């Protein structure tokens, strides 16, 4: 079992005002001593302001994306060092929307993973299959290859120090959720792929997680917490889910 963790990916939502309000609402919550670690991932333009709100908070800050380059003439990109400088501790790499919409290959994802770790950030490596791949019985193969691409570049010892989030593409923002049994099957396979050294690696489930399905998902042996999308945009909903992650 890995460290209990709950992460909220705000994606491309909100204004400066709404981001600050949501961060302040979450910051008022008093976590129990054994509570899971909470991370929020605001849009890039709001990271600095949200970081100031969370200055004395137990809530960690993360970025939704990072460049594979540390510096240089890469207009529009943001390096890991810049994110660290703004107070980020974590960064998402390989989110299904980055892979599918932005065309990021597993090689690029692996390079971003390496850049994040080199900068001192903790990557959350997102992996998952499409509906067609699941129907073809290729779920475990697809997920294993996505993880292997990172292992091949940085080595297993680096991968087990990160966080891995399984998020079936067909469940992202659709309201559909993998059954607890389906999710556990994939998480168990990931745990096996990481080997004995990866038994303490934190594994998250992402894909239309909400207060009504979170408890059963988090009860599964190899699911240590959740990567929450839409439900993280409302403080009450997100906190209800966070309380279901056992520490």
Report pLDDT for 43.
98
Domain annotation covers residue 71? yes
Taking the C-alpha atoms of residue 118 and residue 19, their distance in angstroms, rounded to an integer, is: 29
What's the whole-model pTM score? 0.95
| Backbone torsion region of residue 195, taken as left when φ is above 0, otherwise alpha when ψ lies between -120 and 50, otherwise beta | left
Instruction: List the CATH number of the domain containing 47.
Output: 3.20.20.70
Domain annotation covers residue 193? yes
- pLDDT tens per residue across span 68-106: 999 999 999 999 999 999 999 999 999 999 999 999 999
Closest CA to 90 of 113, 106, 109: 113
Domain annotation covers residue 167? yes
Q: Which domain holds residue 197?
A: 5-242
Domain annotation covers residue 168? yes
Count up the domains in the chain and report the number. Answer: 1
Taking the C-alpha atoms of residue 183 and residue 201, their distance in angstroms, rounded to an integer, is: 16
User: Which residues form the catalytic set?
Assistant: 95, 167
Taking the C-alpha atoms of residue 61 and residue 78, their distance in angstroms, rounded to an integer, is: 16
Taking the C-alpha atoms of residue 43 and residue 146, their distance in angstroms, rounded to an integer, is: 25
Domain annotation covers residue 170? yes
Q: Give 65's Cβ-side CA count (13 Å radius).
A: 17
Domain annotation covers residue 247? no
How large is the average pLDDT for residues 131-137? Answer: 93
């Amino acid at each position: 079992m890995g460290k209990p963790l709950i992460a909220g990916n705000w994606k491309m939502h909100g204004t400066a005002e709404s981001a600050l309000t949501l961060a302040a609402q979450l910051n008022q919550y008093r976590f129990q001593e054994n509570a899971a670690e909470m991370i929020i991932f605001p849009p890039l333009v709001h990271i600095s302001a949200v970081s100031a709100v969370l200055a004395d908070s137990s809530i960690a800050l993360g970025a939704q994306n990072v460049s594979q380059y540390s510096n240089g003439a890469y207009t529009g990109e943001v390096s890991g060092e810049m994110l660290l400088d703004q107070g980020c501790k974590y960064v998402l790499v390989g989110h299904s929307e980055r892979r599918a919409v932005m065309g990021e290959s597993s090689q690029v994802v692996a390079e971003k993973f390496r850049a994040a770790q080199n900068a001192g950030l903790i990557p959350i490596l997102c992996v998952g299959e499409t509906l067609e791949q699941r129907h073809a019985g290729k779920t475990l193969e697809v997920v294993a290859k996505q993880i292997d691409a990172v292992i091949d570049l940085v080595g297993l010892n680096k991968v087990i120090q990160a966080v891995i989030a399984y998020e079936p593409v067909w469940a992202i923002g659709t309201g559909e959720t993998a059954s607890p049994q389906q999710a556990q099957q994939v998480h168990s396979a990931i745990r096996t792929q990481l080997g004995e050294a990866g038994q303490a690696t934190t594994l998250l489930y992402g894909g239309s997680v909400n207060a009504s399905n979170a408890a059963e998902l988090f009860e599964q042996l190899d699911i240590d917490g959740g990567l929450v999308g839409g439900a993280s945009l409302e403080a009450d909903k997100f906190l209800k889910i966070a309380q279901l992650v056992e520490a």
